[in-house]
Amino acid sequence: MKRIKPIYQLLVFIGYFGFSFFIQKDTINEFPHHIHAWAHTDHYALSKGFLNNNFDLFHPETLTSNKQFPSENHPNELSKVTSSDFPFVQYTAALIMKTTGNEQPIIYRVLMLLLSSLGLLYLFRIAYQISSNALFSLLLPILLLFSPLYLDYQIGFLPSVAAMSFLFAGSFYYLRYKLQASQKDLVLSVLCLSLSAAVRTPFAIPLIALIGHHILLLLFKKDSLKPVLILSLGLMLPIAYFLYNQYLRAEYGSIFLGSPLYARNFVELESNWMEACENWFFHYYGVLQWMFVLIPVFMIAAINLLKQSVNHTYQVLTQLTVLYGIGVLLYLVLMSRQLVHHDYYALDTFIPFLTLVGVVSISEWVKTQRIPHFSSIFILGCLILTINDNLSTLSERRQPESSEPYTSMYKDYSNLGNLLVRNGISKDEQLLVLDSFAPNMPFLLSGYHGANVLDFGKHSFQEVMNWPIDHIILRDDLLYQDFWEINERLLQETEVVDYGFGIFLLRKSKNKGESLFHWLNIDPNTPITTKNYTSTDLEANEGASNKEFTATFRDTLFNHDYRMISLSFELKKKQSSEALWHIHIHSETEELFNEYLQIPSMTTTLNKKIILPNDLNTWYISSYLYNPNNNVIDYQNFEVKYY
């Protein structure tokens, strides 16, 4: 087995880093505001939290003091401390930020790029250790790993790519241990795999698979107990931090999910997996990459089923692949509901699995078939074909869309700090941000901290208004779209301090100053115009309709003085559980409100109030009841009020 000189390893590392940096150069200092910005900003905020808490590793915190998953022991307390996986990457990023005096995204992103390049180096070393073909080994990791998904998270803020790199390092040392029987390599392998599992919990799967493999060797081939004991020690750090994490979750709550989200039945499981594939299949890998990673899996399945004899190293791989694969499959079952909308779970599970299997299998094939070195040109050609398609998909993932909430949030909150400074708000003061996405984003962009209310279904407004926070932040996008979901008390018990950059700065206050109602020039008790429609007016039959679309209402407001519109009707009976109420308000250039609202089964009066921006746009308003399967909806007294 040939060894690679350290200087050549350094050159390979620099080559991977330089190539990756060239691809990522346009995004390397960009604030995370594209796909999954919620998750990215939460991890970025952990680094900022360590800067704020004097690097207290055992009390990680972010910038938001209430949690999506509240504390069990103190559910009503506000605290920035949160549970998380072992924050090795975030802590390291904070140390570099402190040392350099630079807290910009480039610090975190370059750290992730360095760790990614380390992982690519170890994949190269695995391939070369098996094949002894340098050029082939250099190109293969890029071909298999540079998927659109991997490239996106290569400089992201989630620690998945870092955990994957530690996994590749541990795999290299384990492979060398199997080839050379060096206890030092086994210990190095355990250290890397242990860190990988602590940084991101799903990466415990390959370590558990290794332990299971050696237990089987112990039971059926009378192998030594020593590898089992050494490998089992690798679980100490992940288990210890997992248990401590449960304490943090119970005491302080968490902004991170800490429990499985599995399907309720097989039909839902199948639906979740199919929808995840529909959403992300060609983000996970390109077409050629899927071929390169799936063929080795089928080969291993055939070897196990047909009991084919192979060399000892590859035999170990086939046994480990089965155990590792079972673990990955079980995890995908347990988290199936998350897979649909969270593509990064692939980075924690089957992408490192398929990449390792592909690198080892193809390298073994190159070695046994004695493929000549010039065949690497074929790999280079495949790489060129693949990288172009993958970069195109990556560009689509990073393309800002005006309809995406993160785009408008980033635009508005980028100026929040200026609004607060000009009103003399101290950075020591907590703020209350009313928004429905990415709780840490406004605080990261402004340099402030506070609480963020995502769901008023979970928090009564009475509870929120009693929090020891004086100033409230409200984006006008939220005001126009979800005004009445926020709560009428917000209008009655606050005054407008300032408005700018699409943001209202409010202060708690009763019966003094200018309220939001006054600022918006709205008298909620006195509509300017009221229009009432009978069922006949809306082309229904005696108030009961079995048409697919019914109770259709349309209106156009030209250069209007109205600031609010209220739509309501009385529901008497509904036969279809899938019936919806669709309301759409838009101008030629702006989408103001477009939602399908659930209709309850019981008799009730449904009402929706929507604020209209103070501009001269012509607004087109439409409303109808969606009645699938043509079941009966019985309604009356459709009313429209203009304020």
Query: What was the pLDDT predicted at 385?
Result: 83
DSSP string, 455-523: -TTTS-HHHHHTSS--EEEEEHHHHHHHHHHH-HHHHHSEEEEEEETTEEEEEE-SS-S--HHHHTT--
**Tokens representing 111?**
């750290």
Candidates 146, 139, 147, 126; CA nearest to 377 is 139
- The residues, ordered by sequence, that sit 6+ positions from 518 with a Cβ below 8 Å of its Cβ are 496
CA–CA separation, 361 and 175 (whole Å) = 13
Sign of CA dihedral 364, 367, 370, 374: positive
Give the whole-angstrom CA distance, residue 31 versus residue 121: 28
* H helix count then E strand count, the chain: 25, 14
> How far is residue 31's CA from residue 444's CA, in Å, rounded to a whole number?
9
Distance CA 474, CA 479 (A): 7
Amino acid making up residue 385? L
The dihedral formed by the CA atoms of 235, 237, 243 and 249, expressed in degrees to the nearest 10? -130
pLDDT tens-digit series, residues 444-454: 999 999 998 87
Cα–Cα distance for residue pair 110/93, rounded to 1 Å? 9
Helix, strand or coil for residue 83?
coil
pLDDT of residue 521: 81
Positive or negative, the Cα torsion across 453, 454, 456, 458? negative
Q: Rounded CA gap, 583 and 196, in Å?
A: 48
Which pLDDT score is estimated for 577? 65
Contact 118, 16 (CB under 8 A): no
The pLDDT of residue 185: 95
CA separation for the pair 113, 161 (Å, rounded): 9
Distance CA 52, CA 31 (A): 20
The dihedral region occupied by 476, where left means phi > 0, alpha psi between -120 and 50, and beta the remainder, is alpha
Q: How far is Cα 500 from Cα 606, in angstroms, rounded to an integer?
A: 34
Residue numbers of the chain with a pLDDT score lower than 70: 1-2, 302-316, 373-374, 401-403, 455-461, 481-489, 510-513, 535-547, 559, 573-577, 603, 629-632
Q: Which two tokens stand for residue 161?
A: 């790519």
The 8-class DSSP code of residue 110 comes to: H
Q: What is the pLDDT of residue 201?
A: 95
pLDDT at 38: 94
Degrees (nearest 5) of the Cα angle 320, 324, 328? 165
Residues 6 or more apart whose CB falls under 8 angstroms from that of 13 comprise: 117, 118, 120, 121
Closest CA to 634 of 613, 614, 604, 611: 604
Helices 183-199 and 204-220, interaxial angle, to 10°?
140
Q: What gap in Å lies between CA 350 and CA 20, rounded to an integer?
A: 22
Instruction: Measure the CA–CA gap between 91 and 597, rounded to whole angstroms.
Output: 43
Secondary structure, 3-state, 38-76 = HHHHHHHHHHHHHHHCCCCCCCCECCECCCCECCCCCCC
Question: What pLDDT is recorded for position 543?
Answer: 44
SS (H, E, C) 543-561: CEECCCEEEEEEEEECCCC
Helix (H, G, I), strand (E, B) or coil at 152: helix
